[in-house]
Chain A
Amino acid sequence: MDNILRVESLRKNFGGVVALDGLTFEVQKGAIKSIIGPNGAGKTTLFNIISGMYRPSSGGVWFLGESITGSPPYVTAKRGISRTFQNLQLFANMTVRENVMVGRHCRTKTGFLRSALRLPGAAKEEKRTAAEAMDILRFVGLEESAQRGASTLPFGKQRVVEMARALATDPKLLLLDEPASGLNLRETEEIGRLIQKIRDTGKTIIVVEHDMSLVMAISEEVLVLDHGRRIAEGPPRSIQKHPEVLRVYLGEEIPHAQSPES
């Protein structure tokens, strides 16, 4: 297998605060890779840089062998990187289906003039977009909620809508930022299955997650960050026993905190 994403010596400072401190890692094509680490380890900053929301202070990101360092989000989306957000960012002013249709934005092309005149091509594309959105909603099991306002769904479902919306961009690489946060046990399991189902369609997935049971269940590889640096990387089993990880996660004060097996 070859790598789909390569991150090299990535640094990001906010004023005097160092969020990422020379981070280097790779992601294999078709894998589920989890990134874990305490709060403030730089996980979300990393996502923001890969997806083009932030520019790194130094270092670079390569996607499919080409540099995407500092590319704006609309470019990275078109190249095949999509993401979800830690604190849900659904378009509350739209229905579920419309949310997913926005995801098709970077794969469609009707502009102001063509839509204003409602040229035949524009109408056809609109129809196709709607159908594609329904296909994706069917895939994630939300076709019944298609016409509901996005903000009226229960929280767990909203997370799924956000994943559907990200899927709609036809990504090769999907970045999921804490997909299980705020979900109950059953919903977490469901989302885990969905993530694996997505991976089985040939997509590569990076998951930032705090829920260790989910991380251990679905990932091929785990990367552990602390203070913007890599402290461990490897298959879930080896990570569980890694001394550095235990130190960072368990510390001295709370020896019984969430053990990976729980």
Chain B
Amino acid sequence: MELSTILQYAFAGIKIGSIYAMVALGFNIIYNTTGIINLAQGEFVMLGGMFTVTLAKLMPLGLAFPIAVLAVAIVGCLFERAAIWPARRSSVITLIMITIGGSFLLKGAAMQVWGKNSFPLRPFSSEKPINILGAWVQPQVFWIIGVLAVVMILLTLFFRFTLTGKAMRACAANRAAATLSGISVDRMVLLSFALSAGIGAIAGIVITPVTLVDYGCGSMYALKGFAAAVLGGLGVSAGAVVGGLTIGLMECFGAALPFQGASSYKDGFALLILFVFLCAKPSGILGRAAISELKKF
């Protein structure tokens, strides 16, 4: 393979991998505060794209972006209050079914509102590809990478330096102790849904200009985002980014493998990686096995 071709695939991998990373971040935030894997995570991505597509017809993109993120965060809160909170003492299987039910509820509602078509969104800046060492890269790719970086930095700052962020980490480390020290775990859970819905929405908004958005696109994002989260170590933020980029790259280079039909099976690579890791090292690249043994779920 020539350098330019390799670069071409690498940029494609980083582009989609950044999205998986953001979805994985969303998974992690909710998992850390509640122990739940929120299967509706992909629908937040879809809703982010959908809201923006609609809003962008009425206002400039710069305004539509934050409003859409806010709207999806509100959806996340409503979802938590209506479906998760009442079931907070239920078994894992019940919670899984509630989140998958919620995912279908949102998906079905989106289908009613927007129909079954795919919608485009114009790129944030110029559509003219940029030539980097022979590879042609759309400017939107840099937006995606940049947004991931900003999200990561803001999240790190939030968890490190704000009181609320510290309180959320306390919930993750030890719920009972957090409650005892006066932290409202309920509110932290709500916040974690808002936060991860918001991040999901951001992912949806930045990816829509390159892939379009339709009502059913959330499930695949959820699955690959989860694979990314597991790969990186469930609950580990840096792991989400490592996992997301790895899966994105493997997917794109896998599609280029020289056997018949490789590209039609590119979605299989993420799953294959997931399986291999579940067998060999369920705690992921950056996770710690002994700790996961103690986790509730």
Contact = CB atoms under 8 A, between A and B. Distances in A.
Interface string B262-282: 000000000000000000000
A15 interface: yes
Nearest to A14: B290
Nearest to A57: B290
B135 to A, nearest CB: 43
Contacts of A54: 293
A127 B290 CA distance: 43
A3 interface: no
B132 interface: no
Contacts of B58: none
Nearest to B288: A15
A119 to B, nearest CB: 32
A13 interface: yes
A14 B290 CA distance: 5
Interface residues of B, number: 5
B133 interface: no
A14 B283 CA distance: 14
A150 B197 CA distance: 41
A13 B290 CA distance: 8
Contacts of B3: none
Nearest to A17: B290
Interface in B195-252: none
A171 to B, nearest CB: 26
A13 B294 CA distance: 12
A14 B288 CA distance: 10
B180 interface: no
A13 B291 CA distance: 10
A92 to B, nearest CB: 11
A197 B63 CA distance: 77
Contacts of B293: 14, 54
Contacts of A13: 290
A15 B292 CA distance: 10
Contacts of B291: 14-15
A14 B294 CA distance: 8
A196 B51 CA distance: 70
A15 B294 CA distance: 10
A54 B294 CA distance: 11
A15 B283 CA distance: 12
Contacts of B290: 13-15
Nearest to B294: A14
A13 B293 CA distance: 11
Contacts of B294: 14
A187 B290 CA distance: 38
Contacts of A14: 290-291, 293-294
B291 to A, nearest CB: 5
Interface string B283-297: 000001011011000
A14 B293 CA distance: 8
Given A13-B290, A15-B290, 7 more contacts: A14-B290, A14-B291, A14-B293, A14-B294, A15-B288, A15-B291, A54-B293
9 contacts: A13-B290, A14-B290, A14-B291, A14-B293, A14-B294, A15-B288, A15-B290, A15-B291, A54-B293
Closest 8 CB pairs of A and B: A15-B290, A14-B290, A15-B291, A15-B288, A14-B294, A13-B290, A14-B293, A14-B291
